[in-house]
Amino acid sequence: MSADAKVPLLKASAIHKSYGDLSVLRGVDLKVTRGECLCIVGPSGSGKSTLLRCINLLEPIESGRILFEGDDIAGAPKSRAPAVRQRIGMVFQNFELFQHLSARDNVALAPVKVKGMSRTQALERAQMLLEKVHLPDKGDAFPDELSGGQQQRVAIARALAMEPALMLYDEPTSALDPETVGEVLQVMQELAEEGRTSIVVTHEMGFARRAADRVMFMDGGLFVHEAPPADFFSPDATVPERLARFLGRLS
Ligand code: ADP
Ligand code: MG
């Protein structure tokens, strides 16, 4: 194992974040190792999206440290944020594809604009990535010609195009029709099995059970429990009362 592999890919410590008087993250610690799929679950409003946005430097933190690949990214000058964001792919609940671009162009755009890749090469890679998310024939389709599940898979391909070291998914299937949820989760699971490091905020407990290496429960701006999925979902595990209620509500 190289020295590099021993450094956690991401290590956040004592993250505090408020909006005005509202304290949203209250001393969050989080470590992600390379190759790991970490699922974060928890009630609405507990701070899950805020945490992902802080990791991706879309929101500034008030205190704490975020080390990514060993670098203190939250403490670095703002001018370095775009370089960090290239290394961290993000998939949102509402896809946020560019509506005026075809699926293939959505995927090829950032490699051309940000990495200076030739358009020919970027389009070739985009086709390869669309095949990876099981959309080999949809390159010419525009977002409004695709189902929600297909759009979300294009969004995943677009994030992968930058070859990120870490993928963040924020409830990627919450806005989808039930019949297209499975195809998106399938792609995410395949990527996790390939060893792509990911943090997945989700309410899909079946996915967490199948794909996660570790599940963490957030409540009130703190992680209050974590375990491998087999233990996390075990009915006889000793868990905080708040988590028992959360899981009970879902079943
Ligand atoms: P979750 O993703 O777990 O549902 P969020 O991180 O979205 O939780 O939100 C946590 C809390 O922060 C909620 O009370 C939410 O209303 C509040 N919040 C989130 N974003 C903002 C914002 N930009 N401005 C003010 N309050 C916000
Ligand atoms: Mg959220």
32 in a structural domain: yes
Q: Which residue minimizes the CA distance to atom 21 of ligand 1? A: 19
Indicate the number of domains in the chain: 1
CATH number at residue 107: 3.40.50.300
| Per-residue pLDDT reduced to its tens digit, 174-224 | 999 999 999 999 999 999 999 999 999 999 999 999 999 999 999 999 999
Q: Which residue minimizes the CA distance to atom 12 of ligand 1? A: 24
- Domain residues for 22? 10-250
106 in a structural domain: yes
| Per-residue pLDDT reduced to its tens digit, 126-154 | 999 999 999 999 999 999 999 999 999 99
Distance from Cα 53 to the centre of ligand 1, integer Å: 10
Distance from Cα 42 to the centre of ligand 2, integer Å: 9
Ligand closest to CA 45: 1
Q: Which residue minimizes the CA distance to atom 14 of ligand 1? A: 45
Mean pLDDT of 103-115: 96
Distance from Cα 50 to the centre of ligand 1, integer Å: 6
- Report the percentage of the chain scoring pLDDT > 90: 86
Tell me whether residue 17 is exposed, middle or buried, using C-beta atoms within 10 angstroms of its C-beta: 0 to 12, 13 to 18, 19 or more.
buried
Give yes or no for residue 164 having a pLDDT over 80.
Answer: yes
CA distance 206 to 243: 16
Tell me whether residue 212 is exposed, middle or buried, using C-beta atoms within 10 angstroms of its C-beta: 0 to 12, 13 to 18, 19 or more.
buried
Give yes or no for residue 3 having a pLDDT over 60.
Answer: no
Which residues neighbour ligand 2 (ion) by CB within 5 Å?
Answer: 48-49
Instruction: Confirm or reject: Cβ of 111 under 6 Å from ligand 1.
Output: no
CA distance 93 to 91: 7
pLDDT at 218: 97
142 in a structural domain: yes
Query: Considering only 2-16, 45-59, 194-208, which range has the smallest mean pLDDT?
Result: 2-16
State the DSSP H helix or E strand holding residue 17, giving kind and residue range, or none if neither: strand 10-19
**Three-state SS at 228:** coil
**Best residue among 16, 18, 21, 22 to mutate for probing ligand 1, ranked by most atoms within 8 Å of CB:** 22
- Give this prediction's pTM: 0.95
93 in a structural domain: yes
Minimum-distance ligand 1 atom for the alpha carbon of 47: 6
Distance from Cα 11 to the centre of ligand 1, integer Å: 22
218 in a structural domain: yes
Helix boundaries (H) for the chain:
3-6, 48-55, 81-87, 103-113, 119-132, 148-160, 178-193, 205-211, 229-232, 241-250
Q: ipTM of this model?
A: 0.98
Mean pLDDT of 40-49: 97
CA distance 147 to 180: 8
